[in-house]
Amino acid sequence: MPIWEFSVIIWFGSLVAGLLGSLTGLGGGVVIVPLLTLGFGVDIRYAIGASLVSVIATSSGAAVAYVREGFSNIRVGMLLEIATTLGATGGALLAARVAPHLIAIIFGFVLISSVYSSVKGPSQNGTDGPPDSLATRLRLDSHYPARDGLREYHVRNVPLGFGLMGIAGLLSGLLGIGSGALKVLAMDHAMRLPFKVSTTTSNFMIGVTAAASAGIYLNRGYIDPGLSMPTMLGVLVGSLTGARVLAQARTPVLRWVFGAVILALGVEMIFNGLSGRI
């Protein structure tokens, strides 16, 4: 296959990945890694390197629009970035010592484990009940634009969310997915943020998380410019498109899209890891 055809196909697939990542807070990497490893036979470590670069592009592209529109909770994002950055650095250092097929299997189980919680949704969100004392002291409560005007919400369970973010960062550095899936679930279920706030704050955070581990992958030679460039450009266009769509999208639809995509990719990654194809 000529290099220009390969680049165009990679760009188009990355565009779709960026669109899904922007709408669901996944960050695009959750689709990029299976696309490159399963579809094009790229070594999973190089796929992770390209994914991390694209995750940074996703965050840069979508986060600006979400912040401007008032969806992202900046104070929550900055607090949780402390945990995810530390975890991402540790995950990137661990990646060189784990066999590729084991990374693929871990990747698959992480995705599948998040499907049920994502589709079910939280039992309640931050609009219900009294404010959380720690969140109040940290001034984390905020509001977001809804069809009936600005809607207030309260942040819950800050220590639990912080701990889960450390795990999300570890998996980000190990798997190159931006850990958007776990970040959304941690904020949506543990901290009880509204789903649109969770996805947009996740997009705001994933760039910093990915950058913490991308430098280690670059130093070890796992970031190929010829592979990373079309991947990054496609994800960037997709993430900007997704930012425009999100404001009008229905939350239940986003949850089902989120669940269907990660379930299919999780099963595929586990199968190929067990069969030795990765």
Record the tokens describing residue 158, joined without a space: 């800050």
Q: Which helix (H) or strand (E) holds 144?
A: strand 142-146
pTM: 0.67
CA 238 to CA 50: how far, in whole Å?
16
**pLDDT score for 71:** 80
Distance CA 145, CA 71 (A): 7
Q: Residues 6 or more apart from 73 whose CB is under 8 A from it? A: 140, 142, 155, 193, 197, 201
What are the angstrom distances between the C-alpha of 140 and each of 78, 132, 267? 10, 10, 37
Whether the predicted pLDDT of 153 surpasses 80? yes
Contact status, residue 173 vs residue 87, Cβ threshold 8 Å: yes
- Give the range with max mean pLDDT: 58-67, 68-77, 260-269: 68-77
Distances (CA, A) of 2 to 8, 114, 118: 10, 38, 40
171 is written with which tokens?
């998996």
The mean pLDDT value for 89-118 works out to 75
pLDDT bin (cut points 50, 70, 90) of residue 34 is confident
Place of tokens 């586990």: 270
Name the DSSP class of 131. Answer: P
